[in-house]
């Protein structure tokens, strides 16, 4: 369970989240809203990348403030910009990075399996920075999932993907055993969620079923 309690967040003197409280128990939660409405900041709160200026965030009882390292282990985060999270020179090394500490044979097996399931097996030894934007996004997702987080937070993970890979990633997200929180501008993608939050000007202005959330957002934007 993810509990966001009375969270306000400011960057300098700019308030970007205003007294947000929400408890998430669903397997699939979508987050939509206008540019700058606070969605990414909200997503970053969930794994402690951002600590709230006021209020608390807990994930399965762990506080992002007090138990930051444990929260980051259990909540995987996929950034919009894959360059922000590709850490190692080659594709296989990048996937292996999150598994450091495990025996080499187990790492090799899990890396090979993960690369194959993302269609990246043929790129294992290629420099990660030479992949296309979409391939980098797949690699970022692959490198996070290989660590088997309990919750996956994705901030616009399909922005750089072509139609085929967008469908592939969305199908993969739909099948994951993990809980998923998906921030997106893709209104079709949230229709498959269990619950959708609509953000506007730092607040949750709608919280409910996907189709209702999408029509609320469409009305809000017109
Ligand atoms: N690190 C930061 N420092 C200062 N201001 C920031 C920072 N990150 C975000 N902001 C500001 O906070 C506000 C909310 O940004 P956020 O990225 O959370 O919105 P968003 O809803 O995800 O937007 P988008 O749909 O454009 O990605 C914006 O006005 C943004 O300029």
CA–centroid distance, residue 41 to ligand 1 (Å): 6
Nearest-10 crossing angle of helices 133-145, 104-117: 130
Residue position matching structure tokens 């699939």 = 28
Q: Domain span at residue 122?
A: 2-221
Instruction: Residue 54: give its domain's CATH number.
Output: 3.40.50.300
> Looking at ligand 1, which atom is closest to the CA of residue 44?
18
ipTM value: 0.96
3-state secondary structure the chain: CEEEEEEEEEECCEEEEEEEEEEECCCEEEEEECCCCCHHHHHHHCCCCCCCCEEEEEECCEECCCCHHHHHHHEEEECCCHHHCCCCCEHHHHHHHCCCCCCHHHHHHHHHHHHHHCCCHHHCCCEHHHCCHHHHHHHHHHHHHCCCCCEEEEECCCCCCCHHHHHHHHHHHHHCCCEEEEECCCHHHHCCCCEEEEEECCEEEEEECHHHHHHHHHHHHC
Going residue by residue through the chain, which has 222 residues, state the pLDDT in tens, using 9 for 90 and above: 999 999 999 999 999 999 999 999 999 999 999 999 999 999 999 999 999 999 999 999 999 999 999 999 999 999 888 888 888 999 999 999 989 989 999 999 999 999 998 889 999 999 999 998 888 988 999 999 999 999 999 999 888 888 888 888 888 888 889 999 999 999 999 999 999 999 999 999 999 999 999 999 999 998
State if residue 165 touches ligand 1 by the CB under 6 angstroms criterion: no
State if residue 39 touches ligand 1 by the CB under 6 angstroms criterion: yes
State if residue 184 touches ligand 1 by the CB under 6 angstroms criterion: no
Q: Please state the domain count of the chain.
A: 1
CA–centroid distance, residue 181 to ligand 1 (Å): 18
């Amino acid at each position: 369970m993810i509990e966001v309690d009375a969270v306000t967040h400011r960057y300098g003197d700019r308030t970007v989240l205003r007294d947000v409280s929400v408890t998430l128990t669903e397997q699939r939660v979508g987050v939509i809203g206008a540019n700058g409405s606070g969605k990414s900041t909200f997503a970053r709160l969930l794994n402690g990348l951002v600590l709230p200026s006021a209020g608390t965030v807990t994930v399965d009882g762990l506080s992002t403030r007090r138990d930051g390292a444990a929260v980051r282990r259990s909540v995987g985060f996929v950034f919009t910009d894959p360059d922000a999270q590709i850490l190692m020179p080659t594709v296989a090394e990048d996937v292996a990075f999150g598994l450091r500490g495990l025996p080499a044979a187990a790492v090799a097996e899990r890396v090979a399996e993960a690369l194959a399931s993302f269609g990246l097996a043929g790129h294992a030894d290629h420099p990660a920075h030479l992949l296309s934007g979409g391939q980098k996004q797949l690699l970022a997702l692959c490198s996070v999932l290989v660590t088997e987080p309990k919750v996956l937070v994705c901030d616009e993970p399909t922005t750089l993907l072509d139609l085929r890979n967008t469908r592939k990633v969305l199908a993969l997200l739909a099948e994951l055993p993990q809980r998923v929180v998906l921030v997106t501008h893709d209104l079709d993608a949230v229709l498959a969620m269990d619950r959708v939050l609509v953000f506007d000007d730092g607040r949750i202005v709608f919280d409910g079923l996907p189709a209702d959330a999408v029509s609320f957002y469409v009305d809000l934007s017109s």
